[in-house]
């Protein structure tokens, strides 16, 4: 059995607990939190919840630690820190900062002789795989990534900071005509506005200037000004009843040409439709933890991404079974 630990028990931590419970070759042995452990109630009975300061005592009792903190402030320090003690897996998803995060984690993990796999989830993660395979196979081509329909936490937060807004949820929605154009192999050049629309649901303070809120949101630079945005005002009850879901998804396309005259078009499409973004993300993390365990057992060390992992390492089946049943 591969012994897993969790650091951080929010949506991701709960998802890891769930995914680990479905894997016959893994067991969750401890959960670490910054909160008072007495206040944290796991879904599963009998698994200890401990203060994060106690983690060093578990150095030899955990094979892979799954880091379930956030990318903004937790993981940039946690992953390099805990890679000194454990094989670790994280879901760091700030694309622009991945090279820097990689370097920091690589140093710690190499020094400690551990394997640290960063940025595992669906984007980065499975979408990255689709891009890398697509580019390697169709070097003469174009990449398209669409996200949604799903909630963007960053955009929701930006709306909540607008004066007069009590609560907000922002959905990113791919534009159907853009998807159709890409899928046809037409290799369209698409502007930001042509690829996605944004839809915002706002609970406003009583007496707030709704016209002004709408205008402020729609013209917000970086977040909304390059998009067609629709703003809906709803009640707090409607927000709770209709906008608490965690569904998400998206599309990665690689379109390209072959032939001496480029006469043959090809379209590779990878699509995810997810009822629960955190539960799917953590399903990836747990499969990657299995791979991290195997790479560590082979004597590998340092920072890795899903691009460095032989696909078979993610599976509980052995090579012969995979070749027989899934190849």
Where on the chain is the footprint of a second copy (CB under 8 A)? 15, 18-19, 22-23, 43, 95, 98-99, 102, 119, 124, 126, 128-129, 131-133, 135-140, 143, 183, 185, 258-260, 263-276, 279-280, 283-284, 287, 290, 305-312, 314-317, 319-320, 322-324, 326-327
Nearer to a second copy, 101 or 195 (CB): 101
**Cβ 167 to a second copy, closest distance in Å?**
24
In 3D space, the residue among 207, 218, 93, 226 whose CA is nearest the CA of residue 168 turns out to be: 218
**At a CB cut-off of 8 Å and minimum separation 6, what does 81 contact?**
108
Judged on CB neighbours under 10 Å (0-12, 13-18, 19+), 164 is middle
Distance of CA 247 to the CA centre of its chain: 13
Pick the closer one to a second copy by CB: 206 or 325.
325
Q: Are 269 and 141 in contact (CB under 8 A)?
A: no
If the CB atoms of residues 57 and 275 are measured against a second copy, the closer one turns out to be 275
DSSP summary character for residue 326: T
Nearest approach in angstroms of CB 102 to a second copy is 6
Question: Minimum Å distance from CB 270 to a second copy?
Answer: 6
Give the residue from 230, 235, 232 showing the smallest Cα distance to 205. Answer: 235
- In whole angstroms, how close is the CB of 326 to a second copy at the nearest point? 4
Beta-bridge partners for 143: 254
Looking at the Cβ atoms of 121 and 223, the one nearer to a second copy is: 121
Q: Please, what is the minimum distance in Å from the beta carbon of residue 82 to a second copy?
A: 21
Tell me the torsion sign for CA atoms 60, 12, 275, 178: negative
Question: Min. distance of Cβ 2 from a second copy in angstroms?
Answer: 14
Q: Are 255 and 185 in contact (CB under 8 A)?
A: yes
CB closer to a second copy, 149 vs 218: 149
* Min dist. Cβ of residue 11 to a second copy (A): 12
Q: Which positions ≥6 away from 55 have C-beta within 8 Å? A: 5, 7, 32, 65, 82, 85
- Sequence-distant (6+) residues with CB within 8 A of 235 are 203
| Token pair 């390697």: residue | 136
When the beta carbons of 43 and 73 are compared against a second copy, the nearer one is 43
Of the pair 52, 274, the CB lying nearest a second copy is at 274
Q: What is the CA radius of gyration of the chain?
A: 22
């Amino acid at each position: 059995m591969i012994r897993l630990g969790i650091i951080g028990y929010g949506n991701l931590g709960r998802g890891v607990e769930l995914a680990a419970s479905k894997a016959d070759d893994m067991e969750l042995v401890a959960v670490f939190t910054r909160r008072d452990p007495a206040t944290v109630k796991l879904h599963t009975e009998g698994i200890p919840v401990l203060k994060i300061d106690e983690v060093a005592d578990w150095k030899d009792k955990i094979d892979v630690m799954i880091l379930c903190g956030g990318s903004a402030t937790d993981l940039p320090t946690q992953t390099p820190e805990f890679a000194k003690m454990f094989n670790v897996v994280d879901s760091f998803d700030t694309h622009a900062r991945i090279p820097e995060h990689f370097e920091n984690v690589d140093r710690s993990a190499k020094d400690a002789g551990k394997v640290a796999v960063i940025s595992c989830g669906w984007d980065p993660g499975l979408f990255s795989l689709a891009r890398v395979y697509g580019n390697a196979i169709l070097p003469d081509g174009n990449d398209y990534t669409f996200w949604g329909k799903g909630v963007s936490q960053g955009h929701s937060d930006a709306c909540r900071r607008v004066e007069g807004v009590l609560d907000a949820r922002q959905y990113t929605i791919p534009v159907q005509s853009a998807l159709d154009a890409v899928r046809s192999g037409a290799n369209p050049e698409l502007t930001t506005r042509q690829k996605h629309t944004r839809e915002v649901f706002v609970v406003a303070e009583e007496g707030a200037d709704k016209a002004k809120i709408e205008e402020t949101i729609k013209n917000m630079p970086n977040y909304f000004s390059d998009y067609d945005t629709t703003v809906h005002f709803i009640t707090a009850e409607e927000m709770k009843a209709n906008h608490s879901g965690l569904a998400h998804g998206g599309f990665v396309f690689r379109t390209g040409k072959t032939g001496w005259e480029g006469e043959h078009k090809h379209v590779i499409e990878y699509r995810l439709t997810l009822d629960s973004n955190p539960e799917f993300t953590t399903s990836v993390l747990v499969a990657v933890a299995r791979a991290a365990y195997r790479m560590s057992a082979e004597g590998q060390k340092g920072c890795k991404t899903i691009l460095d992992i032989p696909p078979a390492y993610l599976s509980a089946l052995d090579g012969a079974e995979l070749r027989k049943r899934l190849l």
